[in-house]
Amino acid sequence: MAAANSSNANSGDSREIPDLDLCFCDLRVVESYCWFEENAGRKQVVCPKGWKGCAYSRWIEPPHEERSVAVIQKVLKELNDNKIRHSLQVSRIHGKHAKKIKHIKSMIQAVHTDDDDSDGEE
């Protein structure tokens, strides 16, 4: 049975904790990381259904030192800023392509209109 439990031990950011608590849904809790404010990067066990499950949560790590929290929060802010910057760049690219596509469609429509006019003249 130890082998079965160890196979879950490295399955990613959220993993099943063998022989520990059950949440309020009577499911085995999973290990997770909190990414909010002063608890950013701190390990906890939670309901495996996440936000859709019950509100069960228990810390399995002590609070981080103040300096660690400040560094984690700075990194998270930089990541978020980069995501916003990337999103803006993508929307600008899509905007440029949308203008080109609209121009090409109007050119195609003009060609079709010219073809229809020339068909009627023959």
Looking at residue 36, its pLDDT comes to: 81
pTM value?
A: 0.47
H/E element holding 34? strand 30-34
Q: Exposed e or buried b for every residue in 21-58, given b needs 16+ CB within 10 A?
A: eebeeebbbbbbebeeeebbbbebbbbbeeeeeeebee
Tens digit of each residue's pLDDT (9 = 90 or more) over 37-86: 888 889 999 999 988 889 898 999 898 888 888 898 888 888 888 888 88
The token duo for 76 is 């998270």
